[in-house]
Every structure is written in C-alpha cells, then in structure tokens.
C-alpha cells in the first residue's frame, strides 16, 4: 500500500495524472518484498551471532557456578554420611 501511495504522490508532485502499470507496480512490490526478506535475514543472522557471543561469554561463568554448587552439595552430603 505504501508503495502505491508513494507512486501516486510522485505522479501528483510531477503534475502528472496517476496511471497504474500493474506489471510495474507488481515488479516494484516484489523487489520491495525481496529486499525486506533479505534485510530480515541479515538482521536474524546478526541476532544469532549476538546470542552466540553472549552464550560464549556466559558459559564459563555458569560452568564455574554449577561446579561450585555441585561441589558444595557433594561436600555437604559427604559430611552427612560421615
């Protein structure tokens, strides 16, 4: 809809009566949609890369925390068994 509106406004600004070449509008719309799909895929890739980077940064921290928790539980259980 925005594409059609822009097309009409451009014609009106040029003082030309709006005429619609549906083939051209369809081609423009397809190009617009394809560019948005590419843009979305690029955005998705950058989000995935950011998630991977955050995961890589947090993984050692969580491993250490879980290791401490596991050791604490193991030591506590060992003391109870003694």
pLDDT of 6-22, one tens digit each?
766 676 667 766 566 77
- Domains of the chain by residue range: 21-81
pTM for this predicted structure: 0.49
Give the integer Cα–Cα distance in Å for 79 and 76. 5
- Model confidence over 27-50: pLDDT tens digits? 888 998 999 999 999 999 999 999
Model pLDDT, residue 61: 92
């Amino acid at each position: 809809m925005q594409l059609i509106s822009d097309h009409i406004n451009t014609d009106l600004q040029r003082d030309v009566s709006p005429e619609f070449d549906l083939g051209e509008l369809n081609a423009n719309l397809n190009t617009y949609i394809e560019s948005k799909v590419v843009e979305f895929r690029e955005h998705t890739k950058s989000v995935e890369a950011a998630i991977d980077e955050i995961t890589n940064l947090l993984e050692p921290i969580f491993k250490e925390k879980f290791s401490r928790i596991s050791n604490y539980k193991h030591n506590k259980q060992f003391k109870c068994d003694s």
